[in-house]
């Protein structure tokens, strides 16, 4: 399992400015309605940029 500790807003903003976190304006379209659901995305390799400490931990 991977575990990140020490997330803060400045790390989030820094990751956005470096292009590691980006906005995905995904629209869900169905026959009856359209829903907007904007989400921030980050690739797995860039997850450590969001935390002060990031690593693996064993479970069990």
Distance from C-alpha of 17 to C-alpha of 20, rounded to nearest angstrom: 8
pLDDT, tens digit, for every residue of 18-50? 999 999 887 777 777 777 777 899 999 999 999
Torsion of Cα atoms, 39 then 42 then 44 then 48, to 10°: -120
pTM score, two decimals? 0.73
Domain containing 44 equals 2-56
Number of domains the chain is built from = 1
């Amino acid at each position: 399992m991977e575990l990140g500790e020490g997330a803060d807003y400045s790390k989030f903003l820094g990751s956005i400015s470096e292009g590691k976190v980006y906005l995905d304006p995904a629209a869900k379209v169905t026959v009856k309605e359209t829903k907007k659901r904007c989400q921030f995305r980050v690739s797995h390799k860039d997850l450590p940029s969001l935390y002060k400490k990031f690593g693996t931990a064993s479970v069990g």
